[in-house]
Chain A
């Protein structure tokens, strides 16, 4: 009965590869997000989707492409992985448009690029 789930939990890959991280929420939320947490624990938003439409796109390299097949899923595809992409990637979701806008986070995907 996990609210926000991510797969895989750990991902170790070589520089230059292409990888995807998947996120699913069963909370019935309309809005989903991707955040990146670097080695110093700084958390920063990357993308936000509302009902499958992109609404926030921070300054993120074009190698990162989010895809939302339906409002319960938001996947993150990364092309040509670089060493600096090593981080923990968190997915989150919220109602979107509600007064509280509390975001619920997934457990994170730990990406290590070698």
Chain B
């Protein structure tokens, strides 16, 4: 079945880059997404990538997709304390539903 895995925690110093990794199993994935959830809040769409792309950059965010290895990553440049949150990757296959990863809790310290 479909499965999406992420490491649970990441801790970085303010100003450094953060890299959050995600692996998935569904080879029919069409779109892959990154969502951000701040404490006590809902999910905010950060960015997405189509499965035929290798990379997408959006300001401080860079998404890399290795379709062969079914590996997705999100790089946040110049990480700020406001970036502290839980980051979810999600994949969409042939149905409308999103399969979410386990979430990575990013902690940024000064």
Contact = CB atoms under 8 A, between A and B. Distances in A.
Interface of A: 31, 33, 35, 40-45, 48, 50, 55-56, 58, 90, 92, 94, 96, 100-108
B33 interface: yes
B96 A43 contact: no
B100 A44 contact: yes
A101 B92 contact: yes
A102 B45 contact: yes
A41 B42 contact: no
B72 interface: no
Contacts of A108: 41-42
Contacts of B99: 45
A33 B99 CA distance: 13
B100 A56 contact: no
Contacts of B33: 102
Interface in B68-88: 86, 88
Given A41-B102, A43-B103, A101-B31, A106 B42 contact: yes
B59 interface: no
Interface of B: 31, 33, 35, 37, 41-45, 48, 86, 88, 92, 95-100, 102-103
B102 A104 contact: no
Contacts of A56: 95-97
Contacts of A92: 43
Contact of A45 (B42, B88, B97): B97
Nearest to B44: A105
Contacts of A35: 100
28 contacts: A33-B96, A33-B97, A35-B100, A40-B102, A41-B37, A41-B86, A41-B102, A42-B100, A43-B88, A43-B100, A45-B98, A50-B96, A56-B95, A56-B96, A56-B97, A58-B97, A90-B42, A90-B43, A92-B43, A96-B96, A100-B48, A101-B31, A101-B92, A102-B33, A103-B45, A103-B98, A105-B45, A108-B41
